[in-house]
Structure 1
């Protein structure tokens, strides 16, 4: 199998090197001559353009900064789409837009080729070490066919669903991180202004329920199955605690926008008569606004947790 790799930046370089280490025949292209030279020195062959590379390989990987670069390289003149032929595959690894991924998929499908969106998570260090997640959307049979190649670059590939699913997971993962960090900044600004040393606060919070585990694991018994009775901790008690925390913020003159938003939803759920249900019941209000329903089989959740 001949593999092509376009985009040898901080992420792409490490992944491309791992493809070579796994014994694959690799062709590379990048606008940076120095980036290409480093891969050629490691055993790759250089192509003069994205189109030339596409013609010469069986499968193409693109790792680019964002949608404008992806569109130019894949759909532009002498790009991937213009030169791909029937039976070839493109794995698009960039953090890009779902709508663009769907356009590329449709264009390549019309040419008898395939495209899977496969954004990655792990950072440059993970790209180099292979400690890397690939979230893949698209044809599952094609994913399975190329799984060993994906595993040569990262140890955690996962098929997430139809085309676009990989990007959906990547984008919500990224914004989740920023939202969590924003809430932590609000928490620390309150605790430190109240007089607690920031290192002591951080170390103490690690011992609590939130600090000891992933916030995602706090969703497994109530939110994911949609079961809020019996309560592990009642909403009316959680609301009391939230009131005390925001009162502290007001006393100190600390803005608590995220806390106040959560409290507004908690109060709405209380006014619906949900005070004795589990404190996470108010999360269902966001699902209602979005027009979605979540009710995962508890046995299926347990199976994932036990993997």
Structure 2
């Protein structure tokens, strides 16, 4: 199986397990900048050079060697499950993607037909009942994760613990897992542990939010989208994420973690 979703700087200074919707564009650009002294011109997910990626055959040997010898500082980043699934809805379901089309072709028409959701019209900018449509999307997300129908779960709403676990299961070990909600603190700690060809001044790094502007703006506070049933569905899908990464299930309005991540616990529970 190897190490899917793993990126590494060409200088082998740091190694990152991508978790979708968790600041991955910004982290990738920081890694690219640390090697090359400039940012990648475009979405870092499209970069075919300048960064080792498991998806590129030529990178796999270098990544495997470094993961297995634990020679390179390895980290990942996680996010509150409530805000992550909301972000996935507005970006991937309601939004028009970089190619000018809907995400995954017939996915949105299927959701409209089978689950009765609305997405703001053809351009994603029309008025619609965001709360009702999001809750119906949540049923769909649960169906894909629980029963793998009407399709396999998408990487943007499958559990973070699942992404994090593949790295551990194949012999990797994380040196640091930090929260997007405390991004500067966490990313700075990573940078403090590595030597890079070019210095990175985190305060001067822009945020590369590649999904921004794809879909409609969220019209309500986070907690308004989650009634009792929605919270139950979220817990069913993301129970392990809440527990391992110390997020507050009881209060959807609190996006901040409520405890420290225990790396030994993460490795023990996700390494089974």
TM-score range, shorter chain: under 0.3
With structure 2 as the length reference, what TM-score do the two structures score? 0.20
Q: Identify the structure with the greater strand proportion.
A: 1
Q: Identify the structure with the greater helix proportion.
A: 1
